[in-house]
Homo-oligomer: A and B are copies of this chain.
Amino acid sequence: MFDWLSLTSKAILVLVLIYSSSFMFSARKWTPKGLHVYITGGSQGLGLEVAKLVAQKGAHVSIVARTQSKLDSALKELEAVRQRPDQVFKAFSFSLNTAEESAAALQAASDAHGGHVPDTVFTCAGAARPMYLLDMQAEDLTRGMTDGYWVQAWTAFAAAKQMVRENKKGKIILVSSTLGYMSFIGYTSYSPAKHALRGLADSLRSELMLYGIDTHIFFPPTMYTPGFEEENKTKPAITRTIESTDEGLTAQQAAAGLLGGVENGHAHITADLITSLFRASTRGSAPRSNTALDIVLDLIALIGVPLWRRSVDKQVLAHREEHQEYLRKKGFFN
């Protein structure tokens, strides 16, 4: 959605990155080797790619998803990247919509490891159903919150409690979206949930520090995954148009960016330029990843984002007549 802005920004950023990269690689890095890594939404898309990456790095991996057939084929992909014979790869079929289901899924994975809670928890489960507000029923809004927020929050809640009980200095990694920093037409049910995850992550980061537990949150842009194909089924035309210049990432690219951020200890993780602009200019009280780079990103956002927003507002306003026609045809005014 930011085509023109990308070009001008990239040149500046290359210079800053070269300058700042020296600091980035000086700290001692986290590695998943030998750890039990628990990944929700692990049967496809981002979750599966994260699972494969940590498996490649020597982790024991538990993946959770609803559909057994998808879990079976995901396990095969994990076997293909196995590093050592003693790595434990397990799949668990659970819905994660409620606190009880999420706790049960975590318990099942813990039971496979002597009853111990996983060392690292990635909550990659989630789904979006972009729609016009006027096409929504109340259920669409509550479903948006469940599919975008609770499906991750319940796992974080259960994992945090259990990590404290076991005095485990673990990691919890939530997955929000560019739409957790900003929003526009079509995302009334999704963006609030992704913003809520950000609030949850910032709260947990502060509180779980008491127990030596780290909290991270990832803000991926458009990812070309089965979930993206699914959300396009309900996406309004105007939303599609606004996103059409968005470059997006493959699930592999996003997973690599996410894991890199966790390795470097970043609280808020972004893997593409546009979302990085929003991260730097939508900081709240979150720790910065890289002070020099983030200041430059903030300055670019200071000029670029308002220009972008105005162009989007214009597109929305230009869509007025067409939209009234759409509502009339649907019988909204009857």
Contact = CB atoms under 8 A, between A and B. Distances in A.
A309 to B, nearest CB: 5
A136 B206 CA distance: 16
Interface stretch (A119-127, A246-254, A315-323): A315-323
Contacts of A320: 210
A153 B192 contact: yes
Nearest to A320: B210
Interface residues of A, number: 73
B157 A134 contact: no
A326 to B, nearest CB: 10
Contacts of A138: 98-100, 154, 157
A314 to B, nearest CB: 10
A157 B132 contact: no
Interface of A: 98-100, 132-134, 136, 138, 141, 145, 149, 153-154, 157, 160-161, 164-165, 179-188, 191-200, 202-204, 206-210, 278, 281-288, 295, 298, 301-302, 305-306, 308-309, 312-313, 316-317, 319-320, 323, 327, 332-333
Contacts of A195: 195-196, 198-199
Given A285-B308, A288-B306, A320-B210, A203 B180 contact: no
* Secondary structure class of chain A's binding surface, majority of residues: helix
Contacts of A203: 183-188, 191-192
Contact of A199 (B134, B180, B207): B180
A202 B180 CA distance: 11
16 contacts: A133-B157, A134-B160, A134-B161, A138-B157, A145-B145, A149-B196, A164-B327, A183-B203, A184-B206, A185-B210, A186-B207, A195-B195, A196-B196, A281-B282, A282-B284, A287-B309
Nearest to A99: B138
A136 B298 CA distance: 37
